[in-house]
Chain A
Amino acid sequence: MKHIKYIALAFIGGLSISCETNFLEPVPEVAVSSAGYFQNDEQIETGVMGIYDAIQGVNSTSLDDNRGVQIEYYVTEMRSDNTRTKSQEGEAAQFEEFNVTTQNGLVANYYRSFFNVIYRANLVLDNLENATAGSSAKFEAEAKFARAYAYFNLVRLFGDLPLVDALIGPLDTDIAFTRVPAANIYELIVSDFEFAANNLDNSQKNRASRAAAQGLLAKVHLTLGNYTQAQVLCESVIGGDYSLASNFSDIFYNESNNEVIFAVGYNPGVEADSQDFSAEWMNGVGRTAGVNYVTNEAIEALEAFGGDRATLSYRQDLSQATQYQVTKYLPNGEDGGADGKSFNTDATMSGNDWIVLRYADVLLMHVESILAGGQATSATAAISSFQQVRNRAGITSSVSEITKQDLLNERRVELAFENQRLFDLIRFGVAQEQLALFSGANGYGFSATDLLLPIPQREINLSNGKMTQNPGY
């Protein structure tokens, strides 16, 4: 019996010696986890793909899933004077009515989705040491592009934000819940986009490219009022590999055409890789009765300034004649037959790519950079860019001067329903005036503080009082 004691003692001793971290936290052999992964280029590239996957979002009817860019129209276009819900129901209608609550699930989902993009970008940036010299800079550039893109969207929607530029854990609450001034967020955005522009080429459209970084950086500089820097970037893209599609509808239905600079890719019929916004914009085809329906104000603008673009951008709802639908992203390019809602393919698993940046946008940003905050310009370079966009739409009358209002109108009809309108109104300094008029005419409740979304209440709750809410909520 005495011997057994010794044996037990030896055994316990052996146990305590072997209790190293790899014993208590073993790397799983049959499942993949981020610890111990990212050993080579191939594995790191899957991390990069994961970032795009986060932007793409989950095609799901549950707001527990990160919906990514698939629900972006709610927080952008439907808060502008371009679109609204069809039947003014549920939390979706809070956007058009300008009474978004701090508990709005779509707002919380967008916030979480894009901070997830930032997390996944930081994950790649944290694991670059195993990348080969040839690939490291490209991976870094793609991750920084995505981080800047996500932050640029978030900072324009929410204002001051937590600045997360590295991997953080659940205990890093100081970083996760301290709102830093938007100016500091913009510093990170500018340096990330600059790195991306210097280290990428133009070989991809569904992944980051040099032109995509330059174009989005130009928009950042326009937002910040750095007009000359924006102009240089626009001219660099204009002198490059892109051109206007000759037919306006080809932009949306001939994917990866030469006008597209950066688009979020989707594939039809595959749940993990498709989108549902095309279906949601139809009459009762998706989960909702119909959202992102066209306002009368947008129809007026399209008819007045759109030229050919009017008929290619919206249509009367064939099942409900008083309502009008967006036709820029019809599910898989199908028109829905006689009632406008009968599709041969599964519309809720559509494959239309979501265009983030296209050449026409860059041409109009070029005009904006030359206008440089002024009221009008007659500079030849501006008129040339402006005229190209109008010519394609069949408006060939020559222009000798472009006013700020002309440019805003042109952007509205060229980029209608592409989630640009709200940001354009804010950037042009007319959002409060314009949206107050729109709100008054429709009986909505706009006030100046509605230009920023509320920080989701669950973030504020989790922050234990550290995080402050935006004014007006």
Chain B
Amino acid sequence: MTHLSYIKNSSKLAKAFLCLFAMTLTVSCDFEYELPEAGSITDITAPMASFSASQSEDNYLSYSFSNLSSSAINFEWDLGDGNTSTSKDVSNTYVSEGSYVVVLTVSDALGAKNTISKIVTVVKPPAPAAKVPTVLEASFEDNTLPDGTGDGRDSWRNDFGGVIQITSSPVQDGKQAAKFPSAGDRVAYQSGLEVTPNTDYVITYYYTIKTSPEGSITLNVLGGTIGSLSEVSSKSLASHVGTDQTDANTYVKVDLEFNSGANDAISLLITNEGSESRLDNVSIDLK
């Protein structure tokens, strides 16, 4: 029973509230237009202009502009050469090389604006020139390192064998050449010769071997570097085994072609067998 009377009471109360509420509603209607900003929300997503530019693959004067703006519906492009557009994304072909100031102005439905400008420098992309590696101490001469020092073989020292000897006669070029004694325990190795991948090169060098006993001198072009001689076969790009023993005083010219393959750098490895050999004047050029 107590519960019921409570509900009755409360319903009376509710009626009273309802009346009050209705009154306030009618009253508040009069103030609606006098308080236009009350309760309105500020625009927290103002337009932000943003774009990126990319040069066309087949015509370097053509650019595509990607519109990356947010909260914007109207776009005004000034492409810097007098051309304008109101499209979202645009592309433009410039008449000539030069710097152009590209301005993008964006706005939203409230008329809020935002502007960004970027300088687009139109230049012909340089044709990628293939690298030509420079062999250090290529002719085994003294003081020919870039800093003017060196004993003619400093660039060729390694852990794979003894250091090569230097001979002054016979030579093919300059005053000195590399000498490999008959024991075959000397090794010349030079790494870090920078090349362009997948490019055809030719390496030129000169060798001579004593007329007896039978022997040979081998030059290997290796992709990358090696940590031990066991890696030679797997990393060899090209090799030449010189076996011409007709005259110990006449150098034989070798032109060895190779393709650099998947390598940014190559190494050279020179070894001999059986007979005292000499080698001189190494150079690498594009084929």
Residues of chain A touching chain B, judged by Cβ–Cβ distance below 8 Å, are 227-228, 231-232, 235, 369-370, 372, 374-375, 377, 379-382, 404, 428-430, 432-433, 436, 447-449, 451, 469, 471-472
Query: Which of A228, A375, A451 lies in contact with B262, CB distance below 8 A?
Result: A228
Query: Which of A231, A232, A381, A404 lies in contact with B57, CB distance below 8 A?
Result: A404
Supplied contacts A375-B58, A381-B261, A472-B70, 13 more A-B pairs, CB within 8 Å: A228-B263, A228-B264, A372-B197, A375-B57, A379-B259, A381-B259, A433-B64, A433-B91, A448-B52, A448-B64, A448-B67, A471-B50, A471-B69
Complex contact B54–A370 (CB within 8 A): no
Complex contact B128–A374 (CB within 8 A): yes
Minimum CB–CB distance from A452 to chain B (whole Å) comes to 10
Minimum CB–CB distance from A280 to chain B (whole Å) comes to 32
Within 8 A of A (CB), among B62-88: 64-70, 88
- Knowing A432-B89, A433-B56, say if A448 contacts B262 (CB, 8 Å): no
| Contact-size category for B | 20 to 34
Complex contact B198–A381 (CB within 8 A): yes
User: Which A residue's beta carbon lies closest to that of B54?
Assistant: A429
- Knowing A374-B128, A381-B198, A429-B57, say if A436 contacts B262 (CB, 8 Å): no
Complex contact A432–B88 (CB within 8 A): no
User: Which A residue's beta carbon lies closest to that of B62?
Assistant: A433
Complex contact A231–B197 (CB within 8 A): yes
Residues in B with CB closer than 8 Å to A447 are 67, 88-89
Residues in B with CB closer than 8 Å to A449 are 66-68
Main secondary structure of the interface of B (DSSP, over half): loop
Residues in A with CB closer than 8 Å to B198 are 231, 370, 372, 377, 379, 381-382
Complex contact A472–B68 (CB within 8 A): yes
Residues in B with CB closer than 8 Å to A379 are 198, 259
Residues in B with CB closer than 8 Å to A232 are 262
In Å, the complex CA distance between A471 and B49 comes to: 10
Residues in A with CB closer than 8 Å to B128 are 374
Within 8 A of A (CB), among B45-59: 50, 52, 54, 56-58
Complex contact A228–B89 (CB within 8 A): no
Instruction: Determine which residue in B54, B197, B264 has the highest number of CB atoms from chain A within 10 A of its CB, and name it.
Output: B197
- Knowing A374-B128, A432-B64, A472-B68, say if A227 contacts B197 (CB, 8 Å): yes
Main secondary structure of the interface of A (DSSP, over half): helix
User: Which B residue's beta carbon lies closest to that of A473?
Assistant: B70
Complex contact B259–A380 (CB within 8 A): yes
- Knowing A227-B197, A374-B128, A448-B89, say if A471 contacts B70 (CB, 8 Å): yes
User: Which B residue's beta carbon lies closest to that of A372?
Assistant: B197
Query: Which of B50, B58, B262 lies in contact with A235, CB distance below 8 A?
Result: B262
5 sampled A-B residue pairs with Cβ under 8 A = A231-B198, A372-B198, A377-B198, A430-B57, A472-B70
- Knowing A228-B197, A436-B89, A471-B50, say if A448 contacts B66 (CB, 8 Å): yes
Minimum CB–CB distance from B200 to chain A (whole Å) comes to 8
Complex contact A448–B68 (CB within 8 A): yes
User: Which A residue's beta carbon lies closest to that of B196?
Assistant: A372
Complex contact B66–A432 (CB within 8 A): yes
User: Which A residue's beta carbon lies closest to that of B66?
Assistant: A448
Per-residue interface assignment for chain B, residues 121 to 139, with 1 indicating a CB less than 8 Å from any chain A CB and 0 otherwise = 0000000100000000000
Complex contact B262–A231 (CB within 8 A): yes
Residues in B with CB closer than 8 Å to A235 are 261-262
User: Which A residue's beta carbon lies closest to that of B87?
Assistant: A447
Residues in A with CB closer than 8 Å to B69 are 471
Minimum CB–CB distance from B47 to chain A (whole Å) comes to 11
User: Which A residue's beta carbon lies closest to that of B68?
Assistant: A471
Instruction: Determine which residue in A235, A380, A433 has the highest number of CB atoms from chain B within 10 A of its CB, and name it.
Output: A433
Minimum CB–CB distance from B104 to chain A (whole Å) comes to 12
Within 8 A of A (CB), among B86-131: 88-89, 91, 128
User: Which A residue's beta carbon lies closest to that of B52?
Assistant: A448
User: Which A residue's beta carbon lies closest to that of B127?
Assistant: A374
Minimum CB–CB distance from B233 to chain A (whole Å) comes to 14
Q: Which 7 A-B pairs have the closest CB atoms?
A: A448-B66, A231-B262, A471-B68, A379-B198, A232-B262, A448-B89, A447-B88
Residues in B with CB closer than 8 Å to A433 are 56, 64, 91
Residues in B with CB closer than 8 Å to A471 are 50, 68-70
In Å, the complex CA distance between A370 and B263 comes to: 11
Residues in A with CB closer than 8 Å to B64 are 432-433, 448
Residues in A with CB closer than 8 Å to B88 are 447-448
Within 8 A of A (CB), among B35-49: none
Minimum CB–CB distance from A466 to chain B (whole Å) comes to 15
Residues in B with CB closer than 8 Å to A430 are 57
In Å, the complex CA distance between A377 and B128 comes to: 12
Minimum CB–CB distance from B46 to chain A (whole Å) comes to 14
In Å, the complex CA distance between A382 and B57 comes to: 20
In Å, the complex CA distance between A370 and B199 comes to: 10
In Å, the complex CA distance between A451 and B54 comes to: 14
